[in-house]
Amino acid sequence: MLYLIGNWKMAPEKNIQVIDLVKKTNEIAKLYKKSITTIVCPPAVFLPIVKKNIKVPLGIGSQGVAASDAVAQTGLISASMIKESGAQYVIIGHSEMRARGDSNANVKDQLTRLFEKKLTPIVCIGEKTRDEQGWYLSEVKDQLETVYGDLAPLQAKKIILAYEPVWAIGAQADRAATPAECREMTIFIRKFLSDKYGEKIAKAMPILYGGSADEFNAKSFLEEGTADGFLIGRVSLDPKRLGALAKTINK
């Protein structure tokens, strides 16, 4: 089973747009339910609306969670609130969150909160820059060690991991990442997981590509890049393009 996770970021703006987008995404999820697990992650204010209009097999997730349950955290939402909203998944460690101050330690604390409430973590990891000496691998290894350091296999297997090369994302990207670069990182990640949990468990853990994936390059990232699906942004807001991407993944 492959994954297609839509991070809506700070969009849409209106309730009616949210309902329309959910209904159209529902149809895509239903069409490809045998081969793709489809999940949408709307802004927190829209979680109740999405929950009301969502249909199986489309899953719902939150874009973040507070690192602790302390009440004095203006602007954040707790794992308990997310659970109450009906969400099943939560994105943590996203590059935009890390840019706003989330450290590896914060991501680990967020992960702990999610496991406490039996929510499925979508954990983003990735290097800020690429250097010819390969130091970027150390950056990713530090992130992996923080996430998986004390996790038992049963918990580790519940994580959906998304490789997100920060330098290749958004309007300020240095350039687009290549499927070969994605493959290099998935091999590196699986080697880390295999050393810690064994080859059988490591092979079963999903590793998604969280860069600028679309309906045109998805095939290469799945086949050559060995990704198990995608965490996408802009494309998830356009049902026509999302449908084309799902069709490519299904093939």
Residue 129 belongs to domain with CATH number: 3.20.20.70
The catalytic site residues sit at 94, 164
Domain that holds residue 99: 2-236
* Structural domain contains residue 250: no
Half-sphere exposure of residue 170: CA atoms within 13 angstroms, side-chain side: 10
* Structural domain contains residue 92: yes
Contacts of 58 (CB under 8 A, 6+ apart): 22, 25, 26, 29, 30, 38, 39, 40
pTM: 0.97
pLDDT tens digits for range 126-137: 999 998 888 999
**Contact assessment for residue 39 and residue 3, using Cβ atoms and an 8 Å cutoff:** yes
* Structural domain contains residue 241: no
* Structural domain contains residue 157: yes
Residue 134 pLDDT: 83
pLDDT tens digits for range 206-233: 999 998 899 999 999 999 999 999 999 9
pLDDT over 80 at 11, yes or no = yes
pLDDT tens digits for range 41-75: 999 999 999 999 999 999 999 999 999 999 999 99
* Structural domain contains residue 94: yes
| Number of domains the chain is built from | 1
